[in-house]
């Protein structure tokens, strides 16, 4: 019998009830710690998405993309530089669809971003990009 087969047999023959109660408690605590951490991570991700959405909602930019790069000084964030030297930290959906030479346009208090290419216009609904559909009025004062 090979070493791998022996390990697989030991795993198959494992009986939780025969374990020392101290080890049983340890495994139960590890399970709950992983469960709580996972739940916390996903609820925090939703909160981050909600905050990023609110920031994006109030942004205003317009211009031609002259540089597209990952910002080493800001956690490798995706960034565009517009023709007027305006830096814009972008979201994955914009990063995937926009290229150098394309024009970007976004009004304040709008959830839509327009990418103007030579032959087409792409309109991105940031509600879909963020998977965040709470009620933030588009014409909020």
Per-residue pLDDT of the chain (141 residues; tens, 9 = 90+): 688 888 888 778 878 788 788 888 898 899 999 988 887 766 555 555 677 778 888 889 999 999 999 988 888 888 999 999 989 888 888 889 999 999 999 999 888 999 999 999 999 988 777 765 554 444 444
pTM of the entire predicted model: 0.60
Give the Cα-Cα-Cα angle 7, 10, 11 (nearest 5 degrees): 90
Distance, CA of 131 to CA of 91 (rounded, Å): 13
């Amino acid at each position: 019998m090979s070493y791998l087969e022996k390990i697989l047999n030991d795993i198959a023959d494992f009986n939780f009830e025969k374990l020392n109660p101290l080890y049983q408690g340890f495994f139960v605590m590890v399970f709950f710690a992983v469960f709580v951490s996972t739940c916390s991570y996903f609820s925090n991700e939703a909160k981050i998405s909600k905050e990023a959405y609110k920031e994006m909602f109030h942004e205003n930019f317009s211009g031609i993309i002259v540089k597209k790069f990952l910002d080493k000084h800001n956690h490798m964030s995706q960034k565009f530089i517009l023709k007027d030297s305006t830096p814009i930290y972008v979201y994955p959906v914009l990063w995937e669809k926009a290229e150098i030479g394309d024009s970007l346009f976004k009004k304040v208090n709008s959830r839509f971003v327009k990418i103007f290419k030579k032959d087409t216009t792409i309109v991105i609904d940031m509600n879909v990009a963020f998977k965040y559909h709470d009620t933030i009025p588009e014409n909020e004062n």
